[in-house]
Chains A and B, each alone.
Chain A
């Protein structure tokens, strides 16, 4: 079964600084998607960024970018110029041909002013 591991239960960053959240996954599939979702205290999961495994180029969405290392099965999220509104739980997720998303346990990000 596919698994997603987030090894950092908590991370903190100073406002305007850069932080990287780690994620590794296990799969025998070659074609899949990877995601980072943000869950603020309001509880609503919000898609931050998506990576398709067949694309070698790392996805970028404004201040958010990923480092996708397919051979190492690693998918880290970099947040640049951190803002107070970035404080939330961040979940890494995997999806292959199934419609099922498999989530990691999450990383709680604190942004210090």
Chain B
């Protein structure tokens, strides 16, 4: 068990470009979450999956954001036409159903939009 891993660790992009992040959860975990954290704030919920089904999306997740978890294993988060306001750390977490909300987080992807 290597924990939750996220790739890349840092991403610098120009405004208007598309970016994609990857998250590999702990292998036996069936729930996967995406959060966004801006400087000086706590993480904010974006979306979560149970297996391959996306069960909840925050209103923060505009139509430029899309997340997938095609085979119930790894997940990708894509941001299209990036804006400077998208600059943040994107955190992935995973958990087991019935674990009472015990989430295991990755180290995040730090996105900077220039």
Point out residues on A near B: beta carbons under 8 Å. Answer: 4, 33, 35, 37, 42-47, 50, 52, 91, 93, 95, 98-106
Contacts and interface: CB of A to CB of B under 8 A. Distances in A.
Contacts, number: 58
Contacts of A45: 43, 91, 93, 103, 105
Interface residues of B, number: 26
Chain A facing B: main interface SS: strand
Given A43-B108, A98-B56, A105 B101 contact: no
Contacts of A37: 105
Interface string B80-114: 00000000010101000000111111111010000
Given A44-B107, A47-B102, A99 B89 contact: no
B83 to A, nearest CB: 23
A103 B107 contact: no
Contact of B106 (A33, A44, A105): A44
